[in-house]
Amino acid sequence: MAKRSASIAEARANLPGLVRDAEGGASVEITRRGKPVAVLVSTAMYQRLASARPPFGRALDDFLDRVEIRRVGLAAGELDALRDRGAGREARW
């Protein structure tokens, strides 16, 4: 997806063109004093981004409830060690 940037003043003056760009698949970053403050995207993109998908953990649990592990070639408990359930790891910057 192409990305375009416009100041608020440019967006005000060129809104129809920016909306056309968004409809065509571009995201339009709106800036104020050079800093991004909003993004204009198509309705289809917004709906995709705003869809209520379950978090990965819940989706995995649902999958494991529906699918017999042996049928996908995994041993019982094999997925348990994939994620550390601890508070997190120390990060260095």
Q: Is the pLDDT of residue 89 over 90?
A: no
Question: Is 85 among the domain residues?
Answer: no
pLDDT digits (tens, 9 = 90+) for 21-56: 999 999 999 999 999 999 999 999 998 888 878 888
> What would the mean pLDDT of 8-21 be, rounded to a whole number?
95
Q: pTM here? A: 0.55
Specify whether the CB–CB gap between 16 and 28 falls below 8 A: no
85 phi/psi in degrees, rounded to 5: -85, 5
Is residue 86 situated within a structural domain?
no
Alpha-carbon distance of 61 to 67, in angstroms, equals 10
DSSP state of 86: S
* Tally of structural domains, the chain: 1
CATH of residue 56's domain is 3.40.1620.10
- Please give the residue that has the higher pLDDT: either 11 or 88: 11
- The more confident residue out of 92 and 47 is 47
Q: CB 18: neighbour CB atoms within 10 A?
A: 19
Residue 52: inside a domain? yes
Structural domain of 49:
1-72
